[in-house]
């Protein structure tokens, strides 16, 4: 049984699941508000929640609405996130301010992880992780996602880091931070739109049971922080990495010319890539989120099903 943090508004459905030890899957909201155009974004959010239910778990989309961190959203609340232009992008640094000022906020990977952990949720599904941006050796632009992965004990299922980033340096930072990166059914780290990146994963698992056992072992050893599950986009939905390279370079150049920096850079680049690929990247983005939802739900089921000897592993 898990008692959520008192500052969270947890839906009755999610609370009941947590109290009974039923599997729950956390879902972020930045992908809704800042990752896809309306109305595809709200349709995707509803579809992903249904995929989680179909897999036997309870979905818990996380956001801040009216200054209140919410875990588990109603249908009309998803609509607000998808269509209200006042919704701001909320990472860890922004969370106290958005709560204090009573604003609507869509949570990033980092802030969704933290709120999920406060609620007692152990599995989180997203599209792609943030990481080390290209040119970070001079800009110091490194996503707060990486720091959060080192601190917050949630398994994160993604299609790798976004291919607009420096993947090699991102994995080096994750190694320094002690974050296990597991390729799910792959020896190569995926690059969001593509199954390959040219960079090997440090470890591999071929079943969700293996991943669940790794989660329990990590936290039983007193090693706080995430388990990063890199789940490649399905073959039939990927855009080959060589094909994406030129598009990404063009989008990066356009962002530089437009002076886009900071937390605005990722939404800008993803939107520009959609334009440059005539919508193909959006379809791939939706496909990989669906795939991650299925794998994440199976992982939550496996984690909940594993028997925990008294006093040896965290039973939450």
| Active site (catalytic) residues | 28, 162
* Residues whose CB is less than 8 angstroms from the CB of residue 231 and which lie 6 or more positions away in sequence, other chains included: 157, 158, 159, 184, 185, 190, 291, 292, 295
Do strands 105-107 and 58-65 pair parallel, antiparallel, or not at all (unpaired)?
Answer: antiparallel
Neighbours of 258 (CB within 10 A): 11
Give the orientation angle of helix 144-151 with respect to helix 167-176, to 10 degrees.
Answer: 30
Residue (of 68, 87, 72, 93) closest to 18 by Cα position = 72
* SS3 label, residue 228: strand
């Amino acid at each position: 049984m898990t008692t959520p943090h008192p500052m969270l508004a947890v839906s009755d459905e999610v609370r009941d699941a947590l109290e009974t030890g039923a599997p729950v899957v956390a879902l972020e909201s930045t992908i809704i508000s800042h990752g896809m155009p309306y109305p595809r974004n709200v349709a995707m959010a509803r579809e992903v929640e249904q995929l989680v239910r179909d897999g036997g778990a309870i979905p818990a989309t996380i956001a801040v609405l009216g200054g209140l961190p919410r875990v588990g959203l109603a249908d009309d609340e998803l609509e607000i996130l998808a269509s209200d232009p006042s919704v701001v992008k909320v990472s860890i640094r922004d969370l106290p301010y958005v709560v204090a000022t009573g604003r609507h906020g869509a949570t990033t990977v980092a802030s969704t992880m933290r709120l999920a952990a406060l609620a007692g949720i152990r599995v989180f599904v997203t599209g792609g992780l943030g990481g080390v941006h290209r040119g970070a050796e001079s800009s110091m632009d490194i996503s707060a996602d990486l720091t959060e992965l080192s601190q917050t004990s949630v398994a994160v299922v993604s299609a790798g880091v976004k291919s607009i980033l420096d993947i090699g340096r991102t994995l080096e930072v994750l190694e320094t931070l002690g974050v296990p990166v597991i390729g799910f059914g792959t020896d190569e780290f995926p690059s969001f739109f593509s199954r390959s990146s040219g960079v090997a994963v440090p470890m591999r698992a071929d079943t969700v049971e293996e991943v669940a056992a790794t989660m329990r072992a990590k936290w039983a050893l007193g090693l706080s922080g995430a388990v990063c599950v890199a789940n490649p986009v399905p073959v039939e939905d990927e855009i080959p990495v060589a094909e994406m390279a030129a598009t990404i370079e063009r989008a990066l150049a356009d962002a530089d010319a437009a002076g886009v920096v900071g937390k605005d850079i990722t939404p800008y680049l993803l939107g520009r890539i959609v334009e440059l690929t005539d919508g193909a990247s959006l379809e791939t983005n939706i496909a990989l989120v669906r795939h991650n939802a299925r794998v994440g739900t199976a992982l939550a089921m496996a984690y909940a099903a594993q028997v925990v000897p008294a006093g040896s592993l965290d039973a939450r």
